[in-house]
Chain A
């Protein structure tokens, strides 16, 4: 056999955004501002093709997400097919449309894990943030069904200026629900959250109090429940290893079938995306324009290109670099070595001052 170039290692996970439709209207939604309508969504045969090709190329996990993936009547079928193909199926859900029969059908199909979002610690706050009356109560009911069915439960709590004071109660609630894992995630300022910065940005004092609380509670909770904590970028000094490195660990498939290096990649102008039924998925992963644009380190500029950490954080988040500096190849301004770092800190401090703005609700227009 002829010498061939070293292959690009396959991704571990696929994020399957089955739909952008969602009954909730959280103002920090990670979906793009221009969301896709139901008629742009792909059918069951499309997603089965994605699952088969993903498993063949070495993907091990699939995250059924959205929007709200349980709006899809074919979800149980897709979970069953993913399981049959050897993939571990995760469900990322708001839970408000679930009941015991539906959840049992997913469990029967082989679902491994359910992640349920909470918008706060009580109905008044949570239903306001999600803009959906009755959501919080329903979520708690469904969380109990998840563990009753023997499925692993993660509670995901997105925190920001308007619910951070409830964090102690959110942690208690996750313990009461017998969650295996609690993900406390400060808002990531992309998409809807970027448009709502002045409503969501915490003060530095709130941020520091939250860090201390999480440290203390991790200590006393120990192994009973794992706490994953995502700090707010705007107050950090080192960028996140976004997506585990661009084009290195996972890929994202939008409701219309386009294959993206991350869910926000469409905010970067000039990237070319292919649909998963136009080309083999492995070809898109290895040779696709968008995937190669920021894969590895050769695209980097200073201060990234000479940085000792360049293969640790891979330059941070490209979408954030785009949003803040206007150049997607710039150093993520979260990094203290970025020339834009101080300006970003100042912007966060300014956004966090005074009364929070009204929410711009997430809506399909």
Chain B
């Protein structure tokens, strides 16, 4: 599954983000699966609203973390490719 700057990622039906108080971490809840999110993954998921493109998400995160867009872009692209392959997002 190729993710491009124009791809618009959306959490697949049945997938939602939640904060797990017991383990003090954000998680993705999916059918019969729990995916623990680290801080970077959670920051990306929080921007994934089914409307914004990958390029727009990268711009927002690069500004927030004052990091080069190239670096953020490769992290975000790779992350969404993994999630798409695991049937957690659609593009």
Listed in ascending order, the chain A residues whose CB lies under 8 Å from chain B are 10, 12-13, 57-58, 60-61, 63, 86, 88, 90, 112-113, 115, 147, 150-152, 154, 180-181, 222-223, 225-226
Q: With both chains docked as a complex, state the minimum distance between the C-beta of A89 and any C-beta of chain B, in angstroms.
A: 10
Contact segment of B15-23, B37-45, B47-55: B15-23
Determine if B12 and A90 form an interchain contact, defined as CB atoms under 8 angstroms apart. Answer: no
When distances are taken between beta carbons in the complex, the residues of chain B under 8 Å from A113 are 14, 30-32
4 nearest interchain CB pairs? A152-B14, A58-B22, A113-B31, A226-B87
Cα–Cα distance between A226 and B86 once the two chains are bound (Å)? 7
Cα–Cα distance between A88 and B84 once the two chains are bound (Å)? 21
Is residue B72 within 8 Å, beta carbon to beta carbon, of the partner chain?
no
When distances are taken between beta carbons in the complex, the residues of chain A under 8 Å from B67 are none
Determine if A181 and B22 form an interchain contact, defined as CB atoms under 8 angstroms apart. Answer: no
From B23, B34, B85, B87, name the one whose CB has the most chain A CB atoms within 10 angstroms: B87
Determine if A57 and B22 form an interchain contact, defined as CB atoms under 8 angstroms apart. Answer: yes
Q: With both chains docked as a complex, state the minimum distance between the C-beta of A201 and any C-beta of chain B, in angstroms.
A: 27
Determine if B87 and A115 form an interchain contact, defined as CB atoms under 8 angstroms apart. Answer: no
Q: With both chains docked as a complex, state the minimum distance between the C-beta of A323 and any C-beta of chain B, in angstroms.
A: 25
Determine if B27 and A60 form an interchain contact, defined as CB atoms under 8 angstroms apart. Answer: yes
When distances are taken between beta carbons in the complex, the residues of chain A under 8 Å from B14 are 112-113, 151-152, 180
Listed in ascending order, the chain B residues whose CB lies under 8 Å from chain A are 1, 12-16, 18, 20, 22-23, 27, 29-32, 34, 84-87, 91
Cα–Cα distance between A222 and B63 once the two chains are bound (Å)? 33
Cα–Cα distance between A60 and B84 once the two chains are bound (Å)? 22
Cα–Cα distance between A90 and B33 once the two chains are bound (Å)? 10
Cα–Cα distance between A226 and B82 once the two chains are bound (Å)? 12
The answer, among A60, A181, A222, A223, for a CB contact under 8 Å with B34, is A60
Cα–Cα distance between A224 and B34 once the two chains are bound (Å)? 20
Cα–Cα distance between A181 and B67 once the two chains are bound (Å)? 37
Cα–Cα distance between A112 and B15 once the two chains are bound (Å)? 8
Cα–Cα distance between A90 and B30 once the two chains are bound (Å)? 9
Residue of B whose beta carbon sits closest to that of A63: B32
Write 13 A-B pairs (CB below 8 A) sorted by A numbering.
Answer: A12-B34, A13-B34, A58-B23, A60-B34, A86-B18, A113-B31, A115-B32, A151-B13, A180-B12, A180-B87, A181-B87, A223-B84, A223-B87
Q: A58-B23, A86-B18, A113-B14 are in contact. Are A180 and B31 (CB under 8 A)?
A: yes
Determine if A61 and B13 form an interchain contact, defined as CB atoms under 8 angstroms apart. Answer: no
| Additional A-B contact list (20), CB under 8 Å, known A113-B32, A152-B30 | A12-B34, A13-B32, A57-B22, A58-B20, A60-B18, A60-B29, A61-B29, A61-B34, A88-B29, A88-B34, A90-B31, A90-B32, A151-B13, A152-B12, A152-B15, A222-B85, A223-B1, A223-B85, A223-B87, A223-B91
Cα–Cα distance between A144 and B86 once the two chains are bound (Å)? 23
From B32, B84, B91, name the one whose CB has the most chain A CB atoms within 10 angstroms: B32
Cα–Cα distance between A88 and B34 once the two chains are bound (Å)? 10
The answer, among B13, B20, B23, B27, for a CB contact under 8 Å with A180, is B13
Q: With both chains docked as a complex, state the minimum distance between the C-beta of A150 and any C-beta of chain B, in angstroms.
A: 6
Cα–Cα distance between A180 and B13 once the two chains are bound (Å)? 8
Cα–Cα distance between A173 and B20 once the two chains are bound (Å)? 36
Q: With both chains docked as a complex, state the minimum distance between the C-beta of B19 and any C-beta of chain A, in angstroms.
A: 9
Cα–Cα distance between A12 and B1 once the two chains are bound (Å)? 29
From B22, B23, B91, name the one whose CB has the most chain A CB atoms within 10 angstroms: B22
Q: A60-B20, A112-B16 are in contact. Are A222 and B32 (CB under 8 A)?
A: no
Determine if B32 and A61 form an interchain contact, defined as CB atoms under 8 angstroms apart. Answer: yes
Cα–Cα distance between A57 and B31 once the two chains are bound (Å)? 21
Cα–Cα distance between A112 and B85 once the two chains are bound (Å)? 20
Q: With both chains docked as a complex, state the minimum distance between the C-beta of B22 and any C-beta of chain A, in angstroms.
A: 3
When distances are taken between beta carbons in the complex, the residues of chain B under 8 Å from A10 are 22
Q: With both chains docked as a complex, state the minimum distance between the C-beta of B72 and any C-beta of chain A, in angstroms.
A: 23
When distances are taken between beta carbons in the complex, the residues of chain B under 8 Å from A63 are 32
